């Protein structure tokens, strides 16, 4: 038990304190009331309603089609469940790309309609001016992704590990986001050694996914961690449970019970 696990509510300042005291930050995604409640009660410090919902909830093959309305819908469900964790909503592709005015209006809408604490936008130095404007407007921003940017999949030509040829741009990106006021930065799909250097180069925390143990915190997708989604399981995922098998076995038991008239029993009847 650390002093941070006793905090009743995590706020935007908690994360830099955790980094400076060497306490790793445990974060996960969630998309609905029940899952978010379980994660909050278990003690994760930050919950992200990620645009990964495009794949694990909607069955799209990338995050590109996700809409702002989908993020708001899921975020509202998560908000109702969570008492302690810091809540971050992912801004989907196209919602912060057209103009500063439109980007700020979209982020304001997400914060006002969901009651979330912060937004996440993808990008490095190129997004720093927007991060500054959002922060000045009173909206905490989680920056990144440094490294692999899933919303840029069509430009990058796939989900490729970044940083094999050095770290210069990534450190510059991280510093630009920190200077602009981001409270944390996601580092995704980056060679561990490079991600560690990025983490050492800034005072705000890095939250890694597929970026090794040198990051200040970790994030994974709910369905990957609990073994609910195996269309594709990346190498960086550690499955902590096999819920898919538990549900499939239980479902077969249910089907068999219904067909054999073993369910409902008298105790389930009125
Ligand atoms: O959309 C998402 O879930 C994410 C995290 C995995 C960082 O961006």
Check residue 230 and give its pLDDT.
Answer: 79
Please identify, by atom number, the ligand 1 atom nearest to the C-alpha of residue 122: 8
- Gap between the Cα atoms of 152 and 125, Å rounded: 15
For residue 211, what pLDDT band results from cuts at 50, 70 and 90?
A: very high
Q: Which residues pair with 162 in a beta bridge?
A: 190
Which residue's entry shows tokens 């009743």?
A: 8
Is 45 part of the annotated catalytic residue set?
no
Distance from Cα 188 to the centre of ligand 1, integer Å: 9
For residue 127, what pLDDT band results from cuts at 50, 70 and 90?
A: very high
CB atoms within 10 A of CB 43: 14
Q: Which residues pair with 120 in a beta bridge?
A: 90, 142
Confirm or reject: Cβ of 210 under 6 Å from ligand 1.
no
Which residue, among 108, 158, 161, 168, has the nearest Cα to 133 in the 3D structure?
108
- Gap between the Cα atoms of 7 and 90, Å rounded: 25
| Among 70, 122, 178, 188, the one annotated catalytic | 188
What phi and psi values does residue 21 have, to the nearest 5 degrees?
A: -100, 5
Overall pTM surpassing 0.75 (yes/no):
yes
Which residue's entry shows tokens 């819920």?
A: 243
pLDDT tens per residue, range 8-41: 999 999 999 999 999 999 999 999 999 999 999 9
Distance from Cα 48 to the centre of ligand 1, integer Å: 7
């Amino acid at each position: 038990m650390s002093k941070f696990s006793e905090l009743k509510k995590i706020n935007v300042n908690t994360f830099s304190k955790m980094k400076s005291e060497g306490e790793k930050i445990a974060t996960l995604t969630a998309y609905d009331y029940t899952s978010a409640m379980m994660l909050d009660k278990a003690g994760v410090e930050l919950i992200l309603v990620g645009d990964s919902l495009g794949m694990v909830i909607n069955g799209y093959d990338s995050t590109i089609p996700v809409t702002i309305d989908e993020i708001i819908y899921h975020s509202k469900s998560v908000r109702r469940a969570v008492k302690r964790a810091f809540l971050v909503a992912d801004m989907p592709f196209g919602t912060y790309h057209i103009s500063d005015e439109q980007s700020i209006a979209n982020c304001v809408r997400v914060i006002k309609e969901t009651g979330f604490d912060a937004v996440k936008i993808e990008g490095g130095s190129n997004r720093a001016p927007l991060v500054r404007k959002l922060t000045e407007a009173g909206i905490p921003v989680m920056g990144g992704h440094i490294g692999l940017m899933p919303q840029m999949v069509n430009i990058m030509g796939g989900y490729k590990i970044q940083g094999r040829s050095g770290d210069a741009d990534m450190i510059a990106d991280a510093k630009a986001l920190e200077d602009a006021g981001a409270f944390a930065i996601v580092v995704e799909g980056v060679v561990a050694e490079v991600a560690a250097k990025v983490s050492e180069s800034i005072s705000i925390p890095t939250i890694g996914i597929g970026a090794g143990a040198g990051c200040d915190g970790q994030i994974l997708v709910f369905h990957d961690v609990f073994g609910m989604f195996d269309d594709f399981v990346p190498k960086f995922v550690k499955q902590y449970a096999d819920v898919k098998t538990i549900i499939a076995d239980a479902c077969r038991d249910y089907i068999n019970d219904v067909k054999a008239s073993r369910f409902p029993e008298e105790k389930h009847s009125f």
